[in-house]
Amino acid sequence: MVTLLHHQSLYSEGGKIIGSHHAPHTCPNYYHIEVAHSPKCKASKPVFPASGLEILISPLYNPPSMKGRVLSLLSISLFFLFARCSSQDSYYLVGPPEKVKETRELLRLLQGGAKEDAGRFVLLNQIANNLKASGYPDRMNVFLTSYVEKHPKDPFNAYYLFQVARNYHDQNALPIAAYYYNRILQNHPDLLIQGKSIHLMCLQELIRLTKEGEYRINYYKEMQARFPNQLDPGSTFYYMGKTYETLGEWEQAIQMYNKFLKYPDTVIPENPEAQRQVSSLLAFHASDKRWTRESLDEIVKEIKTAIDQKDVRALLNLRAQVNFFAMSWEQDESESYAQASFDIGTFLRGSIVRYADTLDIDSNAREAYLETWGWTYRIATWYLYFRKINYPQDPSIHGRWEWAGIFFGEKL
């Protein structure tokens, strides 16, 4: 239970303002905020009403490529806003008559007395809510940013600027939103809202907003250093690995993927096959890759020769030694690996196998199919599947071809 010293006028029956004296009030349904001056030192602060708040927060690094764009957009936005804003409170007296009346009284109380941070917080938050509810989020932004400029030491400034950032985010002004998220991280102590760190939420949001991989990596590292117990380690390592891949830092990516696999229960929502795919990548990375060939024509020619000569050893050596599959057309590749260890040699020696003169019509620059038939397996027709290797980690392997698997039966 948290006690808040607030203006009684804000909580009178029916919403009517009946006075401006201070009174202690217990707020069990409100959010608890703490000012966290450092990860080890937290000074408790009162609660506040924050209906429907969605938290997002800014990181510690501002990408140079974004900075000019942000300042340009911000300057234009603030120019038009402040051009309409006078030094008087009339700029904020907008909306329905009852909201105008309430806001006028709140502004009077703010100017007249609220010396305590908590008291000012309640007044500021209600004024901001009135402006937004009345359809004037831009004026809310002016109100809050003006206050922060005049009161740089207010411990709740991170929350005020968060509301501004969220407004810009909702308006799809993403560079400006990112600017404020960064500003919160760089200049203002952390706040806890319902146990959630504003700084952590800013870092998470900036990861989503920032295109530059090097900055996303910095945000991930900052989260790991400051909030290790509030992260899903498996997914964090996975996304760091993906980000390192975009930067071409392959060894770091491999390190992150190895750590990711230590959390087998981790689910990546947009990629349910992440565990299998990463396992396949790591297995390929660790292999000697001797089965790969420079061109598709080369590997197809060698396989045809091995079939003609019933050369089981050659055929087995040409087969991919990692992630080779054998499955029907109806199966999913993720189900196939248990079947990949069957003895091809047994079927080759006991069969009169034939193959098409040319590759299947569905072959393309990245994958190809060769129809073969006459196998003594229960399904006589096999399509040998070839694919171009995507492995930019090693330019000598990237772009080569491999015999990656077998599809059983006629094509669907």
**pLDDT tens, residue by residue, 320-352:** 999 899 999 988 766 655 455 667 888 888 889
309 three-class SS = coil
Residue 326 carries which side chain, given as an amino acid letter? A
Whole-angstrom distance, CA of residue 29 vs CA of residue 50:
10
370: phi > 0 → left, psi -120 to 50 → alpha, else beta; which?
beta
Whole-angstrom distance, CA of residue 177 vs CA of residue 173:
6
Range in 107-111, 186-190, 289-293 the model is least confident about: 107-111
Whole-angstrom distance, CA of residue 290 vs CA of residue 408:
26
Specify if 248 maps to a domain: yes
Q: Which of the four pLDDT bands, split at 50, 70 and 90, describes residue 407?
A: very high
Specify if 33 maps to a domain: yes
Residue 214: pLDDT over 80? yes
Specify if 291 maps to a domain: no
Specify if 227 maps to a domain: no
Q: With residue 263 as reference, give the H or E element that holds it.
A: none
Query: Crossing angle for the helix pair 117-133 and 97-112, nearest 10 degrees?
Result: 160
Whole-angstrom distance, CA of residue 199 vs CA of residue 193:
11
In this structure, the answer to whether residues 261 and 149 fall within a common structural domain is: no
Closest CA to 342 of 379, 369, 370: 379
In this structure, the answer to whether residues 217 and 328 fall within a common structural domain is: no
* pLDDT value of position 119: 80
Please, what sign has the CA dihedral across residues 93, 95, 97, 102? negative
Domain extent at residue 144: 3-221
Q: What pLDDT, in 10s, does the model give residues 144-182?
A: 999 999 889 999 999 999 999 999 999 999 999 999 999
Number of domains in the chain: 3
- CATH assignment of the domain containing 336: 3.10.450
Query: Crossing angle for the helix pair 117-133 and 137-150, nearest 10 degrees?
Result: 160
In this structure, the answer to whether residues 70 and 163 fall within a common structural domain is: yes
Give the DSSP per-residue string, 32-44. EEEEEEETTEEEE
In this structure, the answer to whether residues 73 and 91 fall within a common structural domain is: yes
pTM > 0.75: yes or no: no
Whole-angstrom distance, CA of residue 369 vs CA of residue 47:
66
User: Cβ distance 175 to 165 under 8 Å?
Assistant: no
In this structure, the answer to whether residues 310 and 375 fall within a common structural domain is: yes
- Phi, psi for residue 304 in degrees, rounded to 5: -60, -40
Question: Could you tell me the end-to-end alpha-carbon distance of the chain, in angstroms, rounded to an integer?
Answer: 65
Q: In what order do the strands lie in the sheet with 382-388?
A: 325-328, 401-408, 382-388, 367-373, 354-355
Q: What pLDDT, in 10s, does the model give residues 344-388?
A: 888 888 889 999 999 999 999 999 999 999 998 789 999 999 999
Specify if 77 maps to a domain: yes
Q: What pLDDT, in 10s, does the model give residues 245-255?
A: 999 999 999 99
User: Cβ distance 238 to 274 under 8 Å?
Assistant: yes
Across all residues in the chain, what is the average pLDDT?
80
In this structure, the answer to whether residues 123 and 216 fall within a common structural domain is: yes
341: Cα separation from own chain's centroid = 38
Compute how many other C-beta atoms are within 10 angstroms of the C-beta atom of residue 342. Answer: 12
Q: Which of the four pLDDT bands, split at 50, 70 and 90, describes residue 223?
A: very high
Whole-angstrom distance, CA of residue 134 vs CA of residue 132:
5
Residue 1: pLDDT over 80? no
Q: What pLDDT, in 10s, does the model give residues 14-66?
A: 333 323 333 333 333 333 444 443 333 333 333 333 333 333 333 333 444 44
In this structure, the answer to whether residues 177 and 237 fall within a common structural domain is: no
In this structure, the answer to whether residues 42 and 162 fall within a common structural domain is: yes
